[in-house]
Chain A
């Protein structure tokens, strides 16, 4: 088994258009949630979200690229450019042939679906652009990333709703650890903040109209965000031999299925994934100093997640820190685990724990140290990132300081 390290990270999300900008916002406890701005927003009951602002894709991509890149692909490529530049890797020869891309997305090109359905249904047009299908397909981002950087190894997209990125990164990790690939580019992306995307979520009646307040008494639901996070996972010996900067080591993962309900979370399913990640990483539970929670801000998720953490960690649950950065960047659905892994990297590398902002009052059902409202300095060597998706599909990753 090979050791696996992260040698590059990139992101674009409501908190920033790069990793340094995003981590600074997390340290300062800044909120990226605001009034949504897009066509027909006045017909929505839910009008808040964490949109990527001050982003003009036409200054980044040319006309041919714009015709092919849905917003979720644009986000992916921007994040990937940052990550691969940081890694210093150039994919050529054997390295290119064996390295690939695994990305997560729940919806793929949602705004491309939305725009084109509107065009044929509402505007009555009988013709759509020839690239609608290659633009909206869930694997479009992975394919364009592979083309731009000459990544010719195993490349695909996984879709497990809110756990997509964690499932994707777990796969990439397993491939590098087993020696199947020397390096993998991995993470996830989502862009559902358009009329149809938000309207669909609105129907479920779990969205907050005012704020995302994970673990706080009186929280009233989730808020949706958008963006991408992309990482370079690389075999440790290879990375050290070339003198690469190592952000952290990925030491384990586990996945589980609740096999119980299509939307309600299960303590048992979550516990099995968390405990499984500790076992896979071969660490004791008291080594974990920080958990980046799934922490959606719904009543059901947050109390179930806290119960699962208490179950797995026993007395140590009262000593570790657990925060939900969704309070700041909101829920990036299939891209969320990737952006949240940045908070884990900040914890183990920089010794800074991102807060759960918007926290008002303790909820007895979430009686853990949720790092309310202000970032904290702490010496943490191991961090976990939780993701528990609709459909009862869970994936947890463990990282360690190097």
Chain B
């Protein structure tokens, strides 16, 4: 599975949706993921890829990590995974 598919699988599980229902332009709000759900998703992603995501729940928009939609999250994770390799 690609990084993209693995990230989408985690987000879909959090949103209680099928991965096919999670599109790249979906926002977390569209998917019904709230602030707690987001923190859980980030945790699951960190565990999945063994990476540290620079995300601060205190002020999500000020983090160095873009969560504006699924595409941004996937791109961010791909970058972190590539940096780690």
Contacts and interface: CB of A to CB of B under 8 A. Distances in A.
B56 interface: yes
A262 B42 CA distance: 19
A219 B58 CA distance: 9
Contact of B57 (A45, A206, A218, A219): A206
A364 interface: no
Contacts of B52: 45
A205 B36 contact: no
Contacts of A203: 43
A263 interface: yes
Interface string A199-229: 0000111101000000000111100000000
A218 B52 CA distance: 23
A221 B60 CA distance: 11
Interface residues of A, dominant DSSP = loop
Interface string B35-76: 110010011000000001001111100100000000000000
Contacts, number: 30
Contacts of B35: 263-264
Given A220-B56, A221-B56, A205 B39 contact: yes
Give the contact-size bracket for chain B.
Answer: 10 to 19
Contact of B39 (A204, A220, A300): A204
Contacts of B58: 205-206, 208, 219-221, 298-300
Give the contact-size bracket for chain A.
Answer: 10 to 19
Given A220-B62, A262-B36, A264-B35, A204 B57 contact: yes
Contacts of A298: 58
A263 B56 CA distance: 15
Contacts of B57: 204-206
Contacts of A219: 58
Nearest to B42: A205
A222 to B, nearest CB: 8
Contacts of B62: 218, 220
Nearest to A301: B58
A123 to B, nearest CB: 25
Contacts of B36: 262-263
8 closest residue pairs by CB, A with B: A205-B57, A221-B58, A206-B58, A299-B59, A298-B58, A299-B58, A206-B57, A205-B39
Interface of B: 35-36, 39, 42-43, 52, 55-59, 62
27 contacts: A45-B52, A203-B43, A204-B39, A204-B57, A205-B39, A205-B42, A205-B55, A205-B57, A205-B58, A206-B56, A206-B57, A206-B58, A208-B58, A219-B58, A220-B56, A220-B58, A220-B59, A220-B62, A221-B58, A262-B36, A263-B35, A263-B36, A264-B35, A298-B58, A299-B58, A299-B59, A300-B58
